[in-house]
């Protein structure tokens, strides 16, 4: 079983560098998929209430037989539940639905600047963290100006900023902003929907290392220091995605992958995305 290294968070906690995402995992199979991932060796499960499968997340956690403190559980507060009272209700519902007494990380899912509630929501997160509802607090899809504002108005930076990040969408300026605040960058859609699997840089590294294109890309993330949350409902693919800690890419291979950046999103622009 492959074990993921852990990353230090700015609040003194740690998190597994490579975890398992459950976006688009059907609710009726989520327990089975989460149990499989945990038995494969994953120790971070990234969920969200809006995914509709938090009950399965909790059931899979219990079926795994692992002690609660061995699994890092993340959830998120959705766009229409921002604001102090709604955010608290969302977190309390997730605790009940998953069936845990404390979450390891809770993220603001999107900033939704058109509603102008993300600072108030962040303040509520600080309060709930201090009360013990979650160990760490962070954000998702926040741009540099959103980060600067919550830090300026509350005095506290997120532990994590989960952003779209893959070879076709590398966001170097935002990653630098995260680093400036001591924030861990976590990549969603880390494989970019396979858009770069056939790129010469990826194929060449895969050939040299004897690894798959997906493993090469996940290793690229790991060497950059990102946290990364791939997803697969296939147990063999789950194991393959986790097996990226026993080889390295060369500096030339890293540079070749860096050259693939085209600023191409697969998801929405955080400055424009609103309610859904």
- DSSP of 55-97: HHHHHHHHHHT--GGGSEEEEEE-GGG-SHHHHHHHHHHHHHH
The whole-model pTM stands at: 0.97
Residue 274: pLDDT band (50, 70, 90) is confident
pLDDT of residue 106: 99
Going along the chain from its start, the domains and CATH numbers come out as 15-193+224-237 (3.20.20.100)
Q: Which two tokens stand for residue 272?
A: 């424009």
248-267 pLDDT per residue, tens? 999 999 999 999 999 999 99
pLDDT of residue 275: 62
Please identify which of the residues 16, 19, 25, 51 carries the catalytic annotation.
51
Answer for the pair 160, 105: CB distance below 8 angstroms, yes or no.
yes
**pLDDT reading at 1 higher than 80:** no
pLDDT of residue 276: 53
* DSSP state letters, 8-36: EPTTS-EEESB-EE-TT--TTTHHHHHHH
48-78 pLDDT per residue, tens? 999 999 999 999 999 999 999 999 999 999 9
185-225 pLDDT per residue, tens? 999 999 999 999 999 999 999 999 999 999 999 999 999 99
Average pLDDT over residues 102-119: 97
Answer for the pair 256, 216: CB distance below 8 angstroms, yes or no.
no
Nearest to 229 by CA among 32, 11, 31, 42: 42
pLDDT of residue 147: 98
Answer for the pair 95, 68: CB distance below 8 angstroms, yes or no.
no
User: Could you confirm whether 42 is annotated as catalytic?
Assistant: no
pLDDT of residue 3: 80
pLDDT of residue 230: 97
């Amino acid at each position: 079983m492959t074990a993921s290294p852990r990353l230090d968070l700015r609040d003194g906690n740690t998190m597994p560098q490579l975890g398992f995402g459950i976006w688009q995992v059907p609710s009726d199979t989520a327990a089975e998929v989460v149990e499989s991932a945990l038995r494969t060796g994953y120790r971070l499960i990234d969920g969200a209430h809006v995914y509709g499968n938090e009950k399965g997340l909790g059931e899979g956690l219990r079926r795994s037989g692992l002690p609660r403190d061995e699994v890092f559980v993340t959830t998120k507060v959705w766009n229409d539940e921002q604001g102090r009272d709604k955010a608290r209700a969302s977190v309390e519902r997730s605790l009940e639905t998953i069936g845990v007494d404390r979450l390891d990380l809770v993220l603001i899912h999107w900033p939704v600047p058109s509603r102008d509630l993300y600072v108030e929501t962040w303040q509520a997160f600080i309060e709930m963290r201090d009360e013990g509802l979650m160990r760490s607090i962070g954000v998702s899809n926040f741009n540099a100006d959103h980060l600067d504002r919550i830090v300026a108005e509350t005095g506290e930076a997120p532990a994590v900023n989960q952003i779209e990040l893959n070879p076709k969408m590398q966001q170097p300026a935002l990653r630098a902003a995260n680093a400036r605040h001591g924030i861990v960058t976590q990549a969603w859609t880390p494989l970019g929907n396979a858009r770069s699997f056939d790129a010469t840089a990826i194929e060449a590294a895969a050939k040299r290392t004897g690894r798959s294109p997906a493993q090469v890309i996940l290793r690229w993330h790991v060497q950059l220091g990102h946290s990364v949350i791939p997803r697969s409902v296939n147990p063999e693919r789950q194991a393959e995605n986790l097996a990226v800690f026993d080889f390295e890419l060369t500096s030339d291979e890293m540079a070749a992958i860096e050259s693939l950046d085209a600023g191409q999103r697969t998801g929405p622009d955080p400055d424009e995305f609103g309610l859904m």
